[in-house]
């Protein structure tokens, strides 16, 4: 049964007040006047002669969402308290901030430990909107640089925690970043968002942003909000570490190394390099005219295919398939593919779908350019045999050197720091050595061999990133370059151009399987490194990724 006193304390709505009640400031008529007007009373009214219970004092009515009188901002209780209590979570400061923030980000909001007192500009701390704006700007640079959605949310969460903002929820999609901060249950949340409209590959800028977040997360480094804004502006103004002609030459060397990797000789190396550099210049010309990236990929794929067809028509004794395959290696979107699959495996399905759709459009652009050239080449009588390029001669030393050159040039194309180029070059050589040992020497299927080699790339990249307190992308993306399915893609396109659609679809399916094996292997290697190098003092229950992706 409801408490009458509690019923009396409820604020009356407009509908509950009578239209005949006296306005504020006008005295109500006496009992005699009321009897003269009407003898009808409410059934809930007190009978005559019965006095109402006297209250200790008038109590002011207020909103149910107003701050209680016993609430103190300095000694505020936790805003969220589960029925089972809050478990004790111990996070060690000696591990990278990525691991600490990722552990808390994967926890439910009710179990996250409160931030410790940090450096503040004054008694009240920095303004919340400015902290959220800085957080969004940092997340924008990371997302535009190709970082995965979970890593972007981890960095954004770290920036908010470094300035003492608790109960922050970042949200990252393919083009939109948002973050919400709610001080308590009785305060209004503050939400801000930012749209990413331009993307560019610059891992030097990515590493600088990670260093800024690392310094912000260090409790011993007191960085004010103005200093953080200043460093972020310097990062935006920094020029690329390599000029345009170096990037064009690196693209040519990458294509030449890839052609040697699939069985080419010196002439094939030069032809593939020239085709890739010509395609790169044409793509730059299209970009300057404002054409979308789809057409840029289409135009860039034509020169290597045209050179291969021309060499075949000229009856030059070269492997034209290796020339075209080398040109495709420089165009395959391996970075976007790995990021898309990683987002899907970590539960960011909207972002993963958008990234994979982007990869599909790029791939269709490459297919359109190569198929157009191969179609006219077949019409001109070019004898391109798909089976001729499958008999690769085993040249382990030359192929390992070519794979290392491919990773080196790929790292330059990604605008990596010079200090990371050597490590990623060695990582690429190790990846191809593992693949060659398993596939050529051991006779294991190429998909399984690619997955294991990519897993080692992800494992080594994650270990190096933990050692450097940086992103793992500069250590993994270029190292998977030798594993990209360039030859399977070319042979599938050639079969389709020769009206062998079934055979071509089988080869393209193999290329898709190899690409998925690369992406899954890289992500699995990173997760294995985090699994066995857990946070000291933490618990295995802190890893909530599996629970949050089961759908219940």
Per-residue pLDDT tens over the stretch 33-75: 444 444 455 555 555 555 555 554 554 555 555 555 555 555 5
Question: What are the Cα distances from residue 288, in Å, to 145, 283, 296, 364?
Answer: 21, 9, 10, 22
Q: What gap in Å lies between CA 338 and CA 457, rounded to an integer? A: 12
Which residue shows structure tokens 């946070």? Answer: 535
Contact 342, 530 (CB under 8 A): no
The predicted structure's pLDDT at residue 526: 74
Output the six-digit token pair for 518.
């690369």
Sequence-ordered list of residues with C-beta below 8 angstroms from that of 379, at least 6 positions apart, any chain:
none
Which tokens sit at 300? 């860039």
CA 471 to CA 465: how far, in whole Å? 6
Q: Residue 154: how many CA atoms within 13 Å on its side-chain side?
A: 22
Give me the helix-helix angle, 244-261 and 396-413, nearest 10°: 150
Contact predicate 313/282, CB 8 Å = no
Provide CB contacts within 8 A for 222, sequence distance 6+: 119
The number of angstroms, rounded, from the C-alpha of 296 to the middle of its chain's C-alpha atoms is 24
The first and second tokens of residue 166, run together, are: 């608790």
Spell out the SS3 assignment of 33-85. HHHHHCCCCCCCCCCCCCCCCCCCCCCCCCCCCCCCCCCCCCCCCCCCCCCCC
For 52, counting Cβ atoms within 10 Å of its Cβ (0-12 exposed, 13-18 middle, 19+ buried), the class is exposed
CA distances from 26 to 23, 29, 38, 532 (A): 6, 9, 20, 77
Cα 244 to Cα 4, 251, 418, 468, distances in angstroms: 80, 11, 16, 28
522: three-class secondary structure by DSSP? helix
Crossing angle between the packed helical segments 293-313 and 349-379, to the nearest 10 degrees:
30
Euclidean distance between CA atoms 119 and 163, whole angstroms = 7
- Residue 190 phi/psi, 5° resolution? -110, 120
pLDDT (0 to 100) of residue 336:
80
Q: How far apart are CA 369 and CA 309, in angstroms?
A: 13
Q: How far is CA 350 from the centre of its chain?
A: 11
How far apart are alpha carbons 18 and 29 in whole angstroms? 15
pLDDT of residue 539: 42
407-461 pLDDT, tens digit per residue, is 999 999 888 888 888 989 999 999 999 998 898 888 888 888 988 998 888 888 8
What's the full length of the chain, in residues?
A: 552
List CB contacts of 490: < 8 A, sequence separation 6 or more: 321, 324, 325, 328, 370, 389
User: Which distant-in-sequence residues (6+ apart) come within 8 Å of 455 by Cβ?
Assistant: 521, 522, 524, 525, 528
Q: Is 9 helix (H, G, I), strand (E, B) or coil?
A: helix
Output the six-digit token pair for 428: 């690429």
| Burial of residue 79 (number of CB atoms within 10 Å: 0-12, 13-18, 19+) | middle
Q: Do residues 264 and 245 lie in contact, with contact meaning Cβ atoms separated by under 8 Å?
A: no
* 331-337-338 Cα angle (round to 5): 120
**Cα distances (Å, whole numbers) of residue 234 to 205, 209, 468, 527:** 10, 10, 21, 33
User: Do 517 and 445 form a contact (C-beta atoms < 8 A)?
Assistant: no
pLDDT of residue 545: 44
List of residues 6+ apart from 108 with CB closer than 8 A: 544
Q: Order of strands across the sheet with 168-172?
A: 168-172, 176-181, 190-195
Mean pLDDT by runs of 10 across the 552 residues of the chain is 49 48 54 48 54 51 54 52 50 57 62 55 65 92 86 89 84 90 80 86 87 85 86 85 87 90 85 92 88 90 89 81 82 79 83 88 86 82 59 74 91 87 90 89 87 88 77 84 79 76 84 83 77 50 44 38
Q: What is the pTM of this model?
A: 0.70
Q: What's the pLDDT score for residue 132? A: 92
């Amino acid at each position: 049964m409801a408490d009458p006193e509690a019923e009396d304390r409820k604020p009356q709505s407009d509908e509950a007040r009578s239209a005949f009640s006296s306005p504020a400031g006008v005295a109500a008529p006496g009992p005699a006047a009321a009897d003269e007007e009407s003898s009808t009373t409410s059934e809930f009214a007190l009978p005559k002669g019965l006095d109402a219970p006297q209250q200790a004092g008038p109590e002011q009515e207020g909103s149910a969402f107003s701050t209680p009188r016993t609430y103190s901002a300095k000694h505020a209780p936790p805003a969220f308290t589960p029925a089972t209590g809050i478990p004790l979570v111990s996070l060690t400061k000696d591990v990278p901030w990525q691991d600490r923030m990722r552990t808390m980000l994967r926890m439910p909001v009710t179990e996250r430990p409160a931030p410790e007192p940090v450096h503040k500009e004054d008694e009240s701390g920095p303004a919340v909107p400015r902290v959220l704006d800085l957080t969004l700007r940092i997340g924008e640079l990371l997302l535009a640089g190709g970082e995965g959605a979970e890593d972007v949310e981890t960095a954004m969460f770290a920036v908010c925690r470094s300035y003492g903002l608790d109960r922050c929820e970042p949200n990252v999609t393919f083009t939109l970043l948002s973050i919400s901060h709610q001080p308590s249950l009785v305060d209004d949340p503050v939400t801000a968002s930012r749209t990413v409209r331009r993307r560019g590959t610059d891992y030097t800028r990515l590493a600088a942003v990670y260093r800024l977040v690392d310094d912000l997360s260090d409790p011993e480094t007191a960085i004010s909000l103005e200093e953080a804004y200043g460093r972020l502006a310097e990062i935006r103004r920094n020029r690329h570490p390599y000029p345009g002609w170096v990037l064009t030459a690196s693209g040519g060397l990458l294509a030449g190394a890839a052609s040697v990797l699939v069985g080419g000789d010196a002439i094939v190396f030069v032809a593939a390099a020239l085709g890739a550099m010509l395609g790169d210049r044409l793509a730059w010309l299209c970009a300057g005219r404002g054409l979308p990236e789809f057409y840029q990929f289409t135009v860039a794929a034509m020169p290597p295919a045209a050179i291969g067809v021309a060499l075949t028509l000229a009856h030059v004794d070269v492997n034209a398939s290796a020339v075209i395959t080398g040109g495709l290696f420089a165009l395959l979107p391996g970075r976007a593919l790995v990021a898309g699959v990683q987002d899907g495996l970590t539960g960011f399905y909207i972002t993963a779908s958008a990234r994979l759709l982007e990869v599909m459009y790029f791939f269709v652009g490459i297919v359109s350019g190569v198929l157009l050239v191969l179609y006219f080449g077949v019409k001109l009588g070019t004898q391109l045999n798909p089976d001729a390029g499958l008999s690769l001669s085993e040249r382990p030393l030359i192929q390992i050197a070519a794979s290392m050159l491919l990773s080196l040039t790929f790292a330059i194309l990604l605008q990596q720091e010079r200090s990371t180029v050597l490590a990623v070059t060695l990582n690429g050589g190790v990846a191809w050595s593992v693949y060659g040992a398993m596939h050529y020497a051991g006779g294991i299927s190429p998909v399984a061999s690619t997955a294991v080699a990519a897993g080692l790339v992800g494992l080594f990249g994650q270990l190096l990133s933990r050692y450097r307190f940086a992103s793992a992308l500069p250590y993994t993306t270029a190292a998977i370059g030798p594993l990209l399915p360039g030859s399977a893609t070319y042979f599938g396109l050639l079969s389709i151009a020769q009206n062998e659609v079934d055979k071509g679809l089988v080869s393209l399916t193999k290329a898709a399987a190899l690409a998925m094996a690369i992406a899954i292997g890289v992500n699995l290697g990173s997760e294995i490194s985090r699994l066995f190098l857990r946070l000291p003092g933490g618990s295995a229950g802190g890893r909530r990724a599996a629970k949050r992706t089961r759908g219940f």
